[in-house]
Structure 1
């Protein structure tokens, strides 16, 4: 017999899962994949642990939530498919119910430096980019509302404890949902937030400063926990936030404000290229006191491409990514180049960013790389490189033979450096499924009514894949690759479907563009 608490939880789950009832019903109607075929993953995840911490949706209700909320993914490479469902299952663990709405935690265990409700702001951008693909957009929208209005109608007290690209994330949520009302409702909060960053962190040069620890990146080679440096992180974030604000102001019909934020973005771009680009190293690097370069290549130098910022002349930085003496290691992309004399010199296991692999940074770099491959031609990296790095990223997310996502790992052995600590388990500090959807399968979110798909999976790697039940701009989108047409019986080649009707197709894997 179900007790009263269990009944109440089930009611909440059903209610919240059906908040987007129309979209979910359409998605089920036009499925290519059978949702129940993937239940075994959730059953396995539930059975591989003792659930000692429960959020808004506990394990015994996880399948109902997964079935109602996520896109479906099918491919011939088992670890990619397994991790796709694992990352949704773990994201669900971090959903909590607060008096102000749903929110995403970073750690399941309480942290002394967290805000109310055990919330930490360093990975809000990752949370929104990942959760924007859930059918029920209430989770991502509530998370932003909690952060900006959850303290008696005002921002949470520790909102600015860490650098953020939250404004950019809000606009990129809109690119998936198409919900203008929500971004217009949040626009005044975002304007206030941007002005606050300018008052708190803007240098006389016009660049922005931050310490390593407040970037969520402690113990770097280029700085220190308390050094105030002009870093590629916060400056790229502020560029991305300004560009997003310009677009949102255009939607609101505020042409003057749109121009103002576009001008701010242009100014930041010019300053980053002037002061943070090291002509000797051919890389964006941290500038220390007096705007002198720290003279070390760190993974944060790829972040400008996360926001499509740099001019083509700066693409040369990407030649170091696949160099095994620089950033390419057996178990991931190192957070500093391996040939630097200070690489991995800060000791271990107090959250060092002096070279070990952090999924937080890996997902930023892979998002940036997908942008580069989609938007410009250059000789330094290609689809095969992207697939190789996604393979490494997937392979790294195991611990003792089971799916696992933690804080950071050894670049040579793949050993999770805090893997036996409860705090590290299910660490919600990166993206994976957004990379599958927007990068590997190539559904490129846009604000207009154009549907763009450009898979970065090399044609010789998989004979088939299907991304199904994607709720996008109120439509149900399916992307199929079936080399000989026998896997899904929807024809040969690459095809894109809207609400069960074929929208566009091609014989080979390539960019497809059409109108929704």
Structure 2
């Protein structure tokens, strides 16, 4: 064999070995092995007959999941079971369309959906949850369909519901670091923002929306046709403007970055001046008649999802733990329980007048994690966060089996559309993102620093491991091992990047390290 042939052979073997190694890593992490958790998927596949199969049928679910998802282990079995269940259900919604992959909201067809049965109401949730999949093509295709799937233009019903898509897209970039994809979509997102301004902006600078087009029909504060300034759409538009400012900075467009930052600042001032009810100490809806709705609803926590409020508004969160406020036996209610109109709109036609909606719970828990990470406050702590996550986990069962649907009774936990085909596997919220960024505490950021701040009370769990997390092109492992006996990687909290320890602490606390 001559020298050139030997080099080529060596390179070929090296290439094959690399591919094999990558596939091997995809089947497990540095600490956890995928096969440890296969039994969950085997069980889910037997729970009921698969009458609707899309891109990845149940029979292929495990093969798809083991190469795409992070692995998670903890001593509280229901947290762990729902982790794998929610990835299993997300996979059910992956659909192959003529334009590429997409995620549906309902498995059955809906007459108000866009092409391919797509609905934009929970698109922000879809982005947050699916950003942790190892293969980027699923979200890449999905977003291209929404913004360019109508003969190169946005889908007809992209604005059918309020959205925080630009903000979610930027936060996806904080996970995968793919600025080229993000900036390629930037012109589409600029056009989208301008359209929202043309459609929904009020003379006072805030934005209006009817509750049904917020994805929240039959609220106490509004109505299906009322044009109210709601904390929802205004927080979304603030977040979108901030995200566009960051994107313009990435693109080197200094003037545009300043323009969007100014738009965001204007919305922020409007929200704090016009939507803050000083008497109720809460962000509330301003009615079309320019009067306050005077009802505390769960949407009042949404501003913190986008880190919108200045310091000084944290008193709103006192209601999160009060039984007369939002804390019920089976989760967070969508309206304050002591309000005279709580749950007065009847039942089972998608009312948001108090019942528990996972859509809203996911928003509130993301907002709470931001509050605890980004603000100096003493209103809530990790024990509050953990207990509310426990309630969220406990609610995701129906007749003894894992279940995620549309909404549920706050006192009994009964899924109000649980026996309807449309409600099964409802892709309308996040859970796994809450575990990653909240409980375990991986806080996505744009720089070369990896930051972890677990919100698990130290006395609750003696150990947990989040493994095989694709982050900035690396594989991240986060371990909590109180005694060091469980994982044999040392005592305490440790953060590993591609198998190398980057940060550690004796206790559950915020730690940082360098990715490279």
Aligned residue runs from structure 1 range 39-50, under 5 A: 39-50=38-49
Q: In the TM superposition, what are the counterparts of 1:13-52 in structure 2 within 5 Å?
A: 31-52=30-51
Q: Which residue of 1 aligns with 2:270?
A: 271
Partner in structure 1 of residue 213 of structure 2: 214
Written as runs of structure 1 = structure 2, the 5 A alignment for 1:247-396 is 247-396=246-395
After TM superposition, the structure 1 = structure 2 runs for residues 104-503 of structure 1, keeping only pairs within 5 Å, are 104-503=103-502
Match of 1:17 in 2: none
Report how many residues are paired.
497
SS at match of 2:67: helix
- TM-score norm. by structure 1 comes to 0.95
Aligned to 1:106, what secondary structure does the other structure show? coil
Whole-angstrom CA distance in 2 between matches of 1:325 and 1:257: 46
Q: Where in structure 2 are there 5+ consecutive unaligned residues?
A: 1-18
Asked whether the equivalents of residues 23 and 135 of structure 1 are also in contact (C-alpha less than 8 Å), the reply is: no
Q: 1:71–1:467: 8 Å Cα contact kept in structure 2?
A: yes
What secondary structure sits across from 1:386 in the alignment? helix
CA distance in 1, matches of 2:460, 2:191: 47
> Does the CA-based 8 Å contact 1:55-1:94 persist in structure 2?
yes
Give the whole-Å Cα distance in 1 for the aligned partners of 2:404 and 2:29. Answer: 32
Q: TM-score, normalised by structure 2?
A: 0.95
Give the secondary structure class of the aligned counterpart of 1:497. Answer: strand
Unaligned runs of 5+ in 1: 1-19
- The 1-side partners of 2:95 and 2:288 are apart by 41
Alpha-carbon offset, residue 23 of structure 1: 6.5
Partner of 1:72 in structure 2? Answer: 71
Deviations 1:463-498 (A, max 9, x none): 000000001000000000000001001010000001
Does the aligned pair in 2 maintain the 1:30–1:500 contact within 8 Å? Answer: no
Distance (whole Å) between structure 2 residues aligned to residue 55 and residue 159 of structure 1: 22
How far apart in 2 are the matches of 1:21 and 1:394?
37
| C-alpha distance in 2 between matches for 1:414 and 1:30 | 35
* C-alpha distance in structure 1 between counterparts of 2:172 and 2:145, whole Å: 16
Quote how far apart the aligned CAs of 1:24 are: 5.8
Given that 2:26 and 2:66 are in contact with CA atoms closer than 8 Å, whether structure 1 keeps it comes out as no
Alpha carbons 1:359, 1:429 under 8 Å: kept: yes
Q: Which runs of 4+ in 1 moved over 4 A?
A: 20-30
1:83: how far off? 0.4
Please report how far the alpha carbon of residue 291 of structure 1 lies from its aligned counterpart in structure 2 after TM superposition. 2.3
Of the structure 1 ranges 433-442 and 31-40, higher mean CA displacement relative to structure 2 is found in 31-40
SS of the residue 2:513 aligns to:
strand
1:375 CA displacement: 1.0
Q: Please state whether the residue corresponding to 2:313 is helix, strand or coil.
A: helix
Cα offset, 1:22, TM superposition: 8.5
**What is the alpha-carbon distance in structure 2 between the residues aligned to residue 491 and residue 326 of structure 1?**
43
CA positional deviation for 1:377: 2.1
| Two-structure CA RMSD over aligned residues (Å) | 1.2
Q: Is the 8 A contact 1:30 1:499 kept in 2?
A: no
Q: Is the 8 A contact 2:27 2:67 kept in 1?
A: no
Contact 2:105 2:428 in 1 (8 A): yes
Task: State the distance in 1 between where 2:20 and 2:139 align.
Answer: 17
Answering whether residue 502 of structure 2 is matched by residue 506 of structure 1, we say: no
Q: Which residue number in structure 1 is paired with residue 7 of structure 2?
A: none
